[in-house]
Amino acid sequence: MAEGHHKDLWQHTSTILALIANVNRDPKKNRPFKPADFNPYLKKTSRPDAIVITSENISILRNAFLAERHT
């Protein structure tokens, strides 16, 4: 029962946080925030187009970001 109460409180809090974030965001640069973005009790779904970082492709990232420092 206590966990249900905490989930309800977080739903309220995350709605307020989304409202504050949306008021202060740049509409040309960022997508609107949803309360789910701030609620720790909601499951995060992974993006289907996300790239999984592995030992094979980490060198590509390392070269892309560290090569800029050496030039």
8-35: pLDDT as tens digits = 999 999 999 999 999 999 989 989 999 9
Q: How many CA atoms lie within 13 A of 55 on its CB side?
A: 0
Q: State the pTM of this model.
A: 0.57
Domain boundaries, the chain: 2-70
**Token pair in block for residue 13:** 């809090």
H/E stretch holding 13: helix 2-24
